[in-house]
Amino acid sequence: MQGTWSTSAGLDVHLDLSGTRPRARLESALRDAVRSGQLAAGTALPSSRSLARDLGVARNTVAQAYAQLVAEGWLSARHGSGTWVAERAGQLPAARSPAASGAAARGPRYDLRPGTPDLTAFPRAAWLTAARKALAAAPAADLGYADPRGLEVLRVALAEYLGRARGVRVTPDRIVVCAGFTQGLELVCEVLRAGGTRSMAVESYGLASHRQIAARAGLRLTPLPVDDSGAAVAALTARQGGVLLTPAHQFPLGAALAPQRRRQVADWAVRTGGVVIEDDYDGEFRFDRQAVGALQPLAPEHVVYAGTASKSLGPGLRLAWLVLPAELLTPVVAAKRAAGRLSSSLDQLALAELIRSGGYDRQVRRARLAYGRRRDLLLGALARRVPEVGVTGIAAGLHAVVRLPVGVSEDDVVARAAARGLLVPGLAGSRAGEQDVGPALIVGYATPAPHVFSAAVARLCAALREVIGA
């Protein structure tokens, strides 16, 4: 026999009462529930009358079971106060609430890793307004199993925005909405490998997770050196069937791909039939001059343009988009459909309305101004307090590369920063191949909330000062 009953707090608890003797079964089930943490210490149990009714047993059976478990120390009871789970040495801890778990797992107080925006700046009011308006007007069909390319209303809005803001040559039918850039990269790499591509070039500095995605798809990786003009694309040959680039703002070193190299990689793709995957992860955030436009218009039938809302809004939305050459569109859509990799229709509807209403542009402008001020604060503090370091990659994006003096250990600075509550990575972890540009930190200045950013910068300067010396 099995039974489900509710505690006085209204929580449903399931007990396995299999066996032949009701009292023994109930005692054993309650004992196991306390031992396993299913019933946490301090949990108030229902009255014997209530529990007997819920479980379909005699009230006396429940009363005797309670008395036995009180005698054993599993439960506590007081006349007029009821019965509850006793505190016991060695009891397994109860499952913590999400808030408590999050607090324990939060780790360092100041997160200066690159790649995440200020999540407190998410435009909640504008998003809710857009979501309500979009949902009220959406046809019922938009709430069903969606087109694997994404909802048409979002693809139309994206086509207009990308053409206007990033210079992408695109029509809505060439766009595929993905659950984040990583999903889009997985799809493209799978399709390239299935089509016969065996080798892909990658920048010698970049995200290790992206290289891992390509490698898992079965592609051999060839690192391209990176300098102040971006990736050295002149090294590409016909042996590479594809190349993954961050042309607008090389991650993490920060250079924009020089005009001559943009033409070189476009010519390479047209001449060899290769595919360029353009990761435009933060192309809207340019501070010192007008944003560099997309590479895709130079060879639209050979460039996969990839954009995302992760930096402009938040990575938790899991919304990104691919603009695909005609030859790759059908196989990428088929791969997405076969894997059931669909994106939330409700979030797509809200994003489409946010773009159409101008709210997305306003959010990007606000974020650009805010991040520009943070960048300037970081640069000013480093120049005043740690003039020995150099700072590069600062014209755009959400991070800066802080170059350490020769002989200073990245690991040492990272450890000293951690001791001050800072989470900041060294540059070496992003390296692939033999190129080594020297020790540095990748400092993300977007993630900390505004009220703690100045404190985070001060602690970073103190950690650097401690290692480099007075």
State the DSSP H helix or E strand holding residue 351, giving kind and residue range, or none if neither. Answer: helix 345-356
Same domain, 58 and 207: no
Same domain, 354 and 446: no
Is residue 92 assigned to a domain? no
Contacts of 389 (CB under 8 A, 6+ apart): 382, 402, 403, 404, 405, 464, 468
- What does the pLDDT read at residue 9? 44
Token couple for 351: 């994003």
For the chain, the domain total comes to: 3
pLDDT at 10 over 60: no
Same domain, 452 and 339: no
Work out the mean pLDDT of the chain and round it to a whole number.
88
Q: Which domain holds residue 22?
A: 2-85
Same domain, 18 and 80: yes
Token couple for 168: 């992408």
Domain boundary among 361, 378, 396: 361
What pLDDT, in 10s, does the model give residues 73-104? Answer: 888 888 777 888 887 644 544 444 444 444 43
Of the two residues 55 and 105, the one the predictor is more confident about is 55
Is residue 214 assigned to a domain? yes
- What does the pLDDT read at residue 195? 93
What pLDDT, in 10s, does the model give residues 295-342? Answer: 999 999 999 999 999 999 999 999 999 999 999 999 999 999 988 777
User: Could you give the residue ranges of the DSSP H alpha helices within 222-325?
Assistant: 259-272
- The CA–CA distances, whole Å, from 82 to 29, 73, 75, 285 equal 19, 15, 10, 61
What pLDDT, in 10s, does the model give residues 367-408? Answer: 999 999 999 999 999 999 999 999 998 888 899 999 999 989
Q: Indicate the burial class of 309 (C-beta count within 10 angstroms; 0-12, 13-18, 19 or more).
A: buried
Is residue 356 assigned to a domain? yes
Is residue 19 assigned to a domain? yes
- What does the pLDDT read at residue 69? 86
Contacts of 171 (CB under 8 A, 6+ apart): 159
DSSP 375-402: HHHHHHHHHHH-TTSEEES-SBSSEEEE
Same domain, 346 and 323: yes
For residue 203, the one-letter residue type is: E
Provide the 8-state DSSP code for 18.
Answer: -
Is residue 400 assigned to a domain? yes
d(Cα 274, Cα 313) in Å, to the nearest integer?
Answer: 32
Q: Give this prediction's pTM.
A: 0.78
Task: Name residue, tokens 């979002």.
Answer: 154
State the DSSP H helix or E strand holding residue 450, giving kind and residue range, or none if neither. Answer: helix 450-468
For residue 236, the one-letter residue type is: L
Task: Name residue, tokens 């206007």.
Answer: 164
Contact of 112 with 421, CB cutoff 8 Å:
no
d(Cα 16, Cα 19) in Å, to the nearest integer?
Answer: 9
Same domain, 385 and 349: no
Q: How confident is the model at residue 18 (pLDDT cuts 50, 70, 90)?
A: low
Same domain, 338 and 385: no
Same domain, 215 and 308: yes
d(Cα 364, Cα 453) in Å, to the nearest integer?
Answer: 20
Token couple for 444: 């993300």
What angle is formed at CA 291 by the lines to CA 287 and CA 292, rounded to 5 degrees? Answer: 135
Pairing of strands 242-245, 199-203: parallel
Q: How confident is the model at residue 8 (pLDDT cuts 50, 70, 90)?
A: very low
Task: Name residue, tokens 């004992």.
Answer: 31
Same domain, 266 and 128: yes
Same domain, 303 and 203: yes
**What is the mean pLDDT of the segment spanning 422-426?**
94
Is residue 104 assigned to a domain? no
Residues in the chain: 470
Is residue 190 assigned to a domain? yes
For residue 422, the one-letter residue type is: L
